[in-house]
Amino acid sequence: MSNSDSLVEEVIERNPQEKHLSDYRPSDYTISTIDLEFDLFDHQTKVQAISQVQRVSKEVTPLFLFGEALNLVSILVDDVDYTDFELVKDGIVINHLPTSFKLEINTEIDPAKNHAFEGLYKSGDAFCTQCEAEGFRRITYYLDRPDVLAKFSTKVIADKTLYPYLLSNGNQVDQGDLDAGRHFVSWVDPFPKPAYLFALVAGDFDLVEDNFITKSGRDVKLAIFVDKGNLDKTQHAMLSLKKSMQWDEERFNLEYDLDIYMIVAVDFFNMGAMENKGLNVFNSKFVLANQQSATDQDYLGVEAVIGHEYFHNWTGNRITCRDWFQLSLKEGLTVFRDQEFSSDLGSRSVNRIANVMTMRDHQFAEDAGPMSHPIRPESVMEMNNFYTLTVYEKGSEVIRMLHTLLGEEKFQKGMQLYVQRHDGQAVTCDDFVAAMQDASEIDLTLFKRWYSQSGTPQVFVTDHYDSVNQTYQITFKQKTLPTADQKKKLPLHIPIDIELLDSNGNSLELLEGKKNRVLSLTQKEQTFVFKHILSKPVPCLFRGFSAPVKYQYAYTDEQLLDIMSFASDEFSRWDAGQTLFNKYLVKNVKALQSGGALSLPEIFIDGFKSVLVSETLDPSLVADMFAFTSENGARELFEQVDIDAIHNARDFMLKEIATKLHELFVDTYLRHNQLKAYQPNIDDIAKRKLKNSALSFIARVDKKVADEYVLAQIASCNNMTDYLGALNAANSGLLPCRAAVMQAFDDKWFENGLVMDKWFVLQASMPSDNVLDNIDALFNHRSFDFNNPNRLRSLVGAFAQTNTYRFHHVDGSGYAFLTDQLIKLNSQNPQVASRLITPLIQFKNLDQVRIKLIKAELNRLLALPDLAVDLYEKVTKALAQ
């Protein structure tokens, strides 16, 4: 046994083992109501919880309640002091209880010292909660599991001067003044919910109010609470909320159900936002926006996340998940809904491209890494580690495949049946699929494998044209490689949306009146035959990314250019361009490895030239066509990853494109640099996006001209999008003006943390060999706060995720740097640490030198005597590769 093996066994002894889906058992007890009272103080908050409890098991079993970091004051059963209990690890066991009883538990907690940001904590000067997944147990002892639904009432008491706003779930029912300058507000949520949806916020805020009239005529009060001085950044958030409410009524026939809907923006938050019933707590990043401080992408992000949390009211709140293994039941479905919302309001193709880039750049790597799992996982150690791209983004793709197979009408019938059957319940992914199957009368038995099988399927495509019989046949073979969690794989039901182009670029009619057709691949190998085809067509495969797979078809350059020019589906045009770029990236990597010359043929340049000069393509789509596969995403193209060769080959190709199309990039920049007044509408967003993309290409090869454009753009711009676009060009091109413009930005915005996050991202992504020295110095920057998750993600996370070449420097400095930060976070905020570690554990296909360096850092983490479960799970699974 090696020293490393011995260390793993030692750590296993002091850490919890995996929880399994198969171990699920209903609770022996249910709670019908819980009345909470909070007396808020920074270090000694008093919490009284009075619950009506019922034993449902036939046997007289002890009641186990979860609890962490609590100071127990007293327990009363039916108003009598109760002492027949035992404090145990992770909770309390209460013995010899009657069948039905009133349980009162009094605890004290210290919100000011809670830097994990779970449970009740201080965010700046405000009290705030985060209870998903298992944070409520840091507030009081409780059945903190999603299948225990109770009606909550909450009374909040605090100093009236410091905390004039006291908020919780549901509708406000009472308020009043108390002695010693304190006051109270009482709330009642009429809808049963699990503890993870509980929320409390107390503070002094600026408030913007509005209202929304539902389709049934109910007047709902809308309220957004933000830190003082931020009212001018709330208009877009309120507009996004009202659009979300209207869209959900129109598209899904779902109406809001409380008298008030509240959003609170806080600075210290581990996630993006939280859908607590009637009181959504948001990371301020996804609420605050105006043209001076927010980019176009920020505006779109605010709209999407506000939509996402609102849509959870039905898909997550009114109907919740039975256990955390079913997390994709609410998250995958709600991501699909927010993606549809963004697509209906904006550009469907551009939104689809953005979703797919996330899948290919990051989720595919998760599928291939040590944390590989199905969208409904079978086991986990730490529930917070469930919040993955697989559960969210791939989960959304699974819902989208259902929509593709059923069509909009049958999908909506399935949604209506799902809501009718399960409103007020905690259910499973199987319940959702059953509703879709019953409503559509389409057999989804095979399709359900997507919920239980991990990994990214590979589809290999061949074709044959018979000119005599004028038939075209296309054959698909599917294969899913073994993953860390599963060795045996079965065929999946894969929808393939296909279009065929003739020799003139025209779409062939495949179904009556339709130029596309959805094929169902359900076997390991299937052949489909198309008749009356006059010449061999060019197949557009997986239109709209109709399934989350990798596919291989031996496209010629000419075929890819035909798709880029003529496909009716804009996603297919973009995808063909990506495929063409990736084809030559692989060739140039091989050339570097064999000592050959790097090259790009004229046909490649001409193809992208036609995109750049197109007068019909959406400028945003044109910009996306030039947003080529990232270095991180390019790793998915190779069985053995050569970090240096990928970086050098990709850099050569981008410079070659920038050089050969230089005059056109200059012309594109100047043509789209004409906007005056700022408007965050689709057309103007597209023009700014293409203009700043062109500027970044100019900066690659013409530093003098780019320097002039950057300085002029900063001097004249009236919005953050153009300011940041100029800064990005200066940073990525290492222009002469870089230091000066970065310092000027710092001096202007250093007091605004959210704006400075953008600056920290640029610093972390700087393409310089001394970037780590720069980052180390920025830990002492006046705007940086190691305790703030947003700051950490923007500096540490951006370096590890986006500066791939330098993070993976062969000297191991990037690995050591990230490990140092993870060690600091281990005891302070393990949830954030667990998210930041991802680039360090996805090393399977790297060279042996780098793998050895990474394992040394992982073993350094494993040796920590107090290694948090969040990190322990990922470290041990990575080392087991």
Measured CA to CA, the distance from residue 569 to residue 552 in angstroms comes to: 19
Instruction: Give residue 567's Cα distance to chain centre.
Output: 30
Measured CA to CA, the distance from residue 306 to residue 247 in angstroms comes to: 12
Q: How many CB atoms neighbour CB 865 within 10 A? A: 7
3-class SS of residue 408: helix
User: φ, ψ for residue 208 (rounded to 5)?
Assistant: -115, 135
615 CB-contact burial (10 Å; exposed 0-12 / middle 13-18 / buried 19+): exposed
Residue located via tokens 């389409």: 442
Catalytic residue among 68, 118, 303, 309: 309
Query: What count of residues does the chain have?
Result: 881
Measured CA to CA, the distance from residue 625 to residue 630 in angstroms comes to: 13
Pick the closest to residue 480 from 501, 450, 502, 508 (CA basis): 450
Measured CA to CA, the distance from residue 572 to residue 568 in angstroms comes to: 8
Strand-strand pairing, 320-321 and 426-427 = parallel
* Alpha-helical segments (H) within 54-184: none
Strand-strand pairing, 29-39 and 151-159 = parallel
Q: How many CB atoms neighbour CB 327 within 10 A? A: 26
Q: How far is CA 370 from CA 413, 437, 631, 879, in A?
A: 38, 33, 20, 8
3-class SS of residue 866: coil
Q: Which amino acid is at 538?
A: V
**Residues 106/28, Cβ–Cβ less than 8 Å:** no
Helix H, strand E, coil C: the string for 537-584 is CEEECCCCCCCCCEEECCCCHHHHHHHHHHCCCHHHHHHHHHHHHHHH
Q: Which amino acid is at 251?
A: R
Q: From start to end of 413-549, where are the E strands?
A: 426-427, 458-466, 471-479, 494-501, 517-521, 525-531, 538-540
Pick the closest to residue 384 from 306, 275, 271, 472 (CA basis): 271
The token pair at 494 is 């894969």
3-class SS of residue 76: strand
DSSP tag of 152: E
Pick the closest to residue 384 from 867, 862, 832 (CA basis): 832
Measured CA to CA, the distance from residue 493 to residue 451 in angstroms comes to: 11
The token pair at 663 is 């005059």
DSSP assignment of 593-661: HHT------HHHHHHHHHHHT-SSS-HHHHHHHTS---HHHHGGG-SS--HHHHHHHHHHHHHHHHHHT
Measured CA to CA, the distance from residue 315 to residue 82 in angstroms comes to: 39
3-class SS of residue 861: helix
Pick the closest to residue 426 from 317, 297, 350, 341 (CA basis): 317
Q: Which amino acid is at 492?
A: L
Q: Which amino acid is at 863?
A: A
DSSP assignment of 272-328: SEE--TTEEEEEGGGT---TTT--HHHHHHHHHHHHHHHHTTTBTTTBEESSGGGHH
The token pair at 544 is 């709209």
The token pair at 714 is 């900063």
Whether 873 is a known active-site residue: answer no
Measured CA to CA, the distance from residue 314 to residue 767 in angstroms comes to: 45
Residues assigned a catalytic role: 309
